[in-house]
């Protein structure tokens, strides 16, 4: 019952102080933490009972083996009407993963000889979006909001062995959707703090793959497809001494969560 008694107080705080409303364009600059979801995450390295380590068989076949990262973003907000209830969004962001994961050091086999090895991978996403934001209490000090952006995404990926860029994948364009929500805390008529969260469906459209031997996924190659579409491809990453074998890769979603903190600046003040 105590919770229900607090609801009217919270609503009063949200709708109070209408003098803080504005219908000028504004810019939000944010930094955030990003967490891979579904097939974007996974383990890069598999170590057997003998202590010998290789790239996981699931890498590229079933996932992209990424861990948490950091995002930087900017969003231009343009009110569509004088009350600021409906707002147009032009957004841009850069997210790079595996920031907090250490390079793997272990032992592998090359030409049937045990040797020291290190493995690491890089994955980044550059996104441009256009969308709509709904701000139900545009003139309040505390303003919850929800939004959806249609995004154009560029994914960059590489595999590093012994601290040398070994396998370089093609930069890949995909189309996606970015729904999110947050709360704006008004400081004054010009500045606000913004706390937000989102889930990015990064490759809803334009998935692709290649079954050509010329596009095989091996060490010391460039221009490799990311193969996010279900289909056949050649690889020997998990056993470099063998001839590349044709395997069936699953359809992979490049999705991630993001929690951000930023500042909103009203333009033209």
Say which CATH topology domain 24-200+255-266 has: Porin (2.40.160)
Neighbours of 104 (CB within 10 A): 16
CA-based end-to-end distance of the chain: 45
Question: 235-256: string of b/e by CB count within 10 Å (b at 16+)?
Answer: bbbbebeeebeeeebeebbbbb
pLDDT under 50: residue ranges of the chain: 1-4, 6-21
pLDDT digits (tens, 9 = 90+) for 218-260: 999 999 999 999 999 999 999 998 999 999 999 999 999 999 9
pLDDT, residue 17, reads: 40
pTM for the whole thing? 0.86
pLDDT, residue 11, reads: 39
pLDDT, residue 22, reads: 53
**What's the rounded Cα separation, in Å, for the pair 149 and 90?**
8
pLDDT, residue 243, reads: 93
**What's the rounded Cα separation, in Å, for the pair 264 and 269?**
13
Domains of the chain, by residue range, sit at 24-200+255-266
pLDDT, residue 224, reads: 94
Determine the distance from the C-alpha atom of residue 258 to the mean position of all C-alpha atoms in its chain, rounded to a whole number.
7
**Short-list 159, 176, 177, CA closest to 167:** 159
């Amino acid at each position: 019952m105590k919770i229900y008694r607090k609801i009217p107080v919270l609503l009063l705080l949200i709708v109070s102080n209408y003098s803080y409303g504005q219908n000028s364009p504004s810019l939000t600059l944010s930094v955030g933490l990003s967490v891979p979801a579904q097939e974007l995450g996974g383990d890069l390295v598999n170590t057997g009972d003998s202590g010998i380590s290789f790239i996981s068989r699931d890498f590229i076949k079933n996932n992209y083996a990424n861990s948490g990262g950091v995002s930087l973003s900017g969003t231009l907000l343009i009110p569509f009407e004088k009350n600021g209830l409906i707002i147009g969004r032009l957004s841009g962001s850069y997210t790079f993963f595996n920031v907090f994961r250490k390079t793997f050091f272990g032992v592998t086999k090359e030409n049937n000889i045990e040797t020291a090895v290190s493995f690491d991978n890089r994955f980044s996403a550059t996104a441009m979006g256009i969308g709509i934001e709904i701000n139900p209490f545009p003139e309040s000090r505390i303003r919850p909001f929800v939004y959806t952006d249609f995004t154009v995404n560029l994914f960059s990926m590489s595999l590093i062995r012994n601290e040398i860029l070994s396998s370089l994948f093609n930069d890949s364009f995909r189309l996606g959707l970015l729904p999110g929500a947050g709360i704006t805390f008004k400081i004054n008529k010009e500045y606000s703090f913004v706390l937000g969260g989102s889930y990015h469906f990064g490759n809803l459209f334009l998935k692709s793959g290649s079954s050509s031997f010329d596009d095989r996924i091996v060490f010391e190659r460039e221009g490799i497809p990311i193969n996010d579409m279900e289909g056949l491809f050649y690889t020997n990453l998990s056993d470099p001494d063998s001839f590349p074998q044709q395997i069936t890769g699953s359809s992979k979603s490049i999705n991630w969560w993001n929690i951000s903190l930023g500042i909103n600046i009203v333009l033209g003040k």
